[in-house]
Amino acid sequence: MLASLGRALIALLATTRHVSGSSSSEQDQFKDVQWDDDNWMIRTHALDPGHYQSRLTLANGYFGINVASAGPFFEIDEPVDGNVISGWPLFSRRQTFSTIAGFWNSQPRTNGTNYPWLYQYGWESFVAGIPHWSGLQVEANGELLNASVNPEHITDFVSSLDVKAGIASWRYNWKPGGSEDGVIDVDYQLFVHKLYVNKAAVRLRLMATRDVNVTVYDVLDGDCAVRSDFVDKKYEEDSPTIWSAVQPGNITNVTAYVYSTLTGSDWVDFSTREQVDEGFFSDGNAWRPTELSKFIGVASTDAFPDPQAVAKEASESGAEEEWGTILTLDSVDDYYLQNGSLPKDPNIQELHILARTNPFYLLSNMIGPNAVTAAGNNTQLNIHSVPVCGLGSDCYGGMIFWDADVWIAPGVQVSHPQHAQNIINYRVEHFEQAKRNVETAYTSSKNQTGRFTPGGAVYPWASGRFGNCTGTGACFDYEYHLNGDISLAFNNHMIITGDQEYFKDTLLPISNAIAHFFGQVLDFNETSGAFELWNATGPDEYANQVNNAGYTTALIQRQFLETNEFNSRFGLSPNASWADKAAKMRLPINENAGIIVEYAGMNGSVQVKQADVVLVDDLLHYPNPYSLSNLDYYAAKQSLDGPAMTYSSFAVVANEVSPSGCSSFTYNLYSALPYVRAPWYQYSEQLMDNVEENGGTHPAFPFLTGMGGTNRVAIFGYLGLGLYYDKLDVDPSLPTQIEYLNYRTFYWMGHGINATSNTTHTTLARLPRGQYTLPTVDATYFVKPIPVTIGTRSGRNSTILELGDEPLVIRNRPMGETLTVAGNLLQCGTLLPPPQGNKPGQFPVAAIDGAASTKWQPEFSNVTSYLTIDLGDSSFYPVKKIAMDWGNQPPRHFEVYFTNSSLPPFSMQTESDEIRNVTTGKVQISAPWDPVTAYEIRAYVGNQTNITLNNCVWSGRFAHLGVKGNQYSESTTEGGTVAEWNLIRGI
């Protein structure tokens, strides 16, 4: 497809500018990035062309775009280790992308699938691209400024993202052709309107140190319009406008129009405009320094009857913006202390930044109620849900997965429920197709005549335009849990918004249809006398076609019980057969290990792709005596090649079920820090992006699922929010590292609530009705207090408290203050930054968080790596015992030192009054790998070393642990693991 191009000829007169410094610095690992916390501004000084991690995505919920590191340009990736391929199922070339919500195509097959034999039963539907619309390219001295500009010709580079306003900026000095003569100061800004969702704008300012002629090209790049069919394009003669139109492949009744209109300074002579063919650029004459603005209009037939007129009008007019009314200070979690300072701990600072950036990226891909109203109450705008990587990427084919309902939605639902409505609406929109999908049981192992009766509904695992069953999106013999996950999102929507009428009339019928389907997809096991789900896949996609999957079994059981409960609440008859089936369902349990197994027949060699059994405690109102043992067992079984959402679930569950320690904080860090990429705090799907090192996965990017996971932790983990329709349930406990947390405004039955936690107590307060009440509010609680309970699922306290006009103060669970090992001096203590690196996600804090389920692992085995804990300068303690849990890859040697001022590294021969070597030795393996018992399911036990000292040794201010080597294998280059380091106080 040929690109659409226009140009305006201008000249730049000599000017100069002053470059000011940054206002604040970011964490060390983002060495070229600064975060300005006063203004919520990210800045980077690193130009990193050709790499997807450095590209920024902007969107408004209707359309979005991904742009190059050098500016708002179309860009193709540079190969890394010979690889330039995106992931499953497209396996296409990585490049910048732009699309419109719901702009899905139709095609017979693709390069990847789950069940290739299902191709014969239905075509696939993947996201199609539109022309890349933001390019304003500049030609000077024979060189073109675009994504391929020579980095050596760029100096003083700074690019920024204004998170409060949604504006991306680039400013730098460009030396066209490398010449010092005629250096051009380039200043781009890119803006996608959040309120008027058909509009975007690009502004270009050019200044020069001497007179220089330039040519500017307005580009709509058709290379971006993958899986689309060209319809038309035009260069308008009577206005500075170009436009292009495309259709998603094989969809002839949908057309998207992209308009671009230029405006400029008074001295810009638009009479010099001319249409140019692709790849052809010519010189021109002009006279002054200048500014050009490019106004974009985008619309498609999916939401607008006359998309061309809408796009044209949007391109010709400006607009106001509303980011400032959406992403307000009280709508995000805030880690500032009560004295107005931000903690110095870089981990807390990073969580504080992510508490702003994660909601920004998530909300960027959701339509708000004001935008729907501004578009003439256009309800077709917000029915397309949120793809895994949003509207600036075609990762996972731009399809809709459980990611939207379970990971992306919840943290946004509680604070911005009307934005998350599009996730609900997508499922409602495809309900009729979900009912028809049941009729395709003949393609599956459930092909028994008369098995399925009318009234059921089943959604495909992945879907685009049609919501039908396909090779990538199977309806049968795969991840049935999606259907129950959808129903959970419905329940949450009602509990958060208070919209009981919509729930009863629209959502509850879908939940009933899902329960109807579940009732018929189960099989009865004559031997066990239980109803079971056979031939399915749970959330762990390493385990396919298994029977009696643990999480899915619990989910179906709760689907039966809670759907009947809601039916009774709204005056409908409960279904007796569902109650009977629920009573006869049994979770697969291994009593010896005290865990729920993932599926019948699982053995101890299992490796888990992503959170599975742990979701029973995270997502379901399920009484579970195995919660803690599940957490410990499956933490040891998680694959390092799994996607970036598992550990947010672990963080939530750890904060709920751990009796001691601060592992929830470790898991919170694990959910974010290894996956966040510089400079824009966007997430990768993988710990490592190198395909050769991460198990062969081409990471999805930017991975909204991971962002949504981290965005859940504070509100559902630390506050312990449980969503029940008849009570506001919380179970607060802050890890010791977090001194104070002001949670985002959240809603319960439509009422706005604020919560703040310090180290000992949490305060709940109702917010003013005028500003913090949803239109769908349950008015009952205007005249009576909100009932509040503490830890309902865990049975902590059955007392019902009342939240009225006065704040309610609740004591936190003192989890961090409770010692896992009695007398331990180190648990959740002050950790000094180690002098060496660690493996991704294997943080030093894991060695002192009171939980063996988390581990520290140094980066290298051939050097001694140290941990240093500051015990304080006011008290020394007698130490009688050292207790180590090494985890599953013990080091070969260890050493423990006390000092009052010295810090590592130390020599093993070092002995002095200041540096005391408490103990040194070879690590003995207490739980060696045994091939005979490796397949047995056993409760997790790490390798342990316990040393009782002959005499108590007085600690110093600092305690140091050094480890070297790794006994996993001789060839292992990574350091050994340390699950827990305990220094036990003597009498």
Q: Give the residue numbers annotated as catalytic, written as ranges.
A: 541
Residue with tokens 């290894």: 674
SS3 of 681, please?
coil
Q: How far apart are CA 634 and CA 639, in angstroms?
A: 10
| Sequence-distant contacts of 235-244: CB under 8 A, at least 24 apart | 235/4, 235/6, 235/275, 240/6, 240/8, 240/270, 240/273, 241/6, 241/312, 241/315, 241/316, 242/4, 242/5, 242/6, 242/218, 242/275, 243/4, 243/308, 243/311, 243/312, 243/315, 244/4, 244/131, 244/220
Task: Please provide the DSSP assignment of 730-753 as one string.
Answer: E-----TT--EEEPPPEEETTEEE
Kindly report the CA angle at 731 between 728 and 734, in degrees rounded to 5? 135
Interacting residues of 956 by C-beta distance below 8 A, sequence separation 6+: 871, 876, 898, 899, 900, 916
Residues 6+ apart with CB under 8 A from 840: 640, 674, 687, 688
Which residue, 363, 406, 450, 282, is CA-closest to 62? 363
Spell out a b/e string for 640-675, using b for 16 or more CB atoms within 10 Å of the CB, else e.
Answer: ebbbbbbbbbbbbbbbbbbebbbbbbbbbbbbbbbb
Distances (CA, A) of 401 to 425, 459, 712, 901, 945: 14, 10, 18, 54, 45
Q: Are 28 and 361 in contact (CB under 8 A)?
A: no
Closest CA to 311 of 262, 260, 366, 365: 260
Q: Is the bond preceding 659 in cis, omega lying within 30 degrees of 0?
A: no
Rounded CA separation 846/819 (Å) = 15
Task: Give the 3-state secondary structure of residue 233.
Answer: strand
Q: What is the 3-state secondary structure (H, E, C) of 557-588?
A: HHHHHHHHHHHHHCCCCCCHHHHHHHHCECCC
CA distances from 377 to 298, 300, 676 (A): 18, 16, 37
Burial annotation 539-575 (CB, 10 A radius, 16+ → b, else e): bbbbbeebbbbbbbbbbbbbbbbbbbebbeeeeeeeb
Residues 6+ apart with CB under 8 A from 147: 49, 50, 68, 69, 70, 71, 73, 74, 75, 76, 96
Give, in degrees to the nearest 5, the angle at Cα 587 between 583 and 592.
130
Burial class (CB in 10 A: 0-12, 13-18, 19+), 50: buried
User: Is residue 859 within 8 Å of residue 835, measured between CB atoms?
Assistant: no
Tokens (6 digits) for 972: 């292992």
Q: Where are the beta strands (DSSP E) in 241-280?
A: 241-248, 256-264
Strand blocks (E) in 452-515: none
- For the chain, what's the residue count? 987
Nearest to 865 by CA among 967, 962, 769, 779: 962
Please answer whether residues 679 and 706 qualify as being in contact, where contact means their C-beta atoms are separated by less than 8 angstroms.
Answer: no
292 contacts 216 by C-beta, under 8 angstroms:
yes
948 φ/ψ angles, rounded to the nearest 5 degrees = -100, 120
What CA–CA distance (Å, rounded) separates 830 from 345? Answer: 10
* Amino acid making up residue 662: C
Q: Are strands 256-264 and 63-67 parallel, antiparallel or unpaired?
A: unpaired
Closest Cα to residue 747, out of 322, 383, 419, 321? Answer: 419
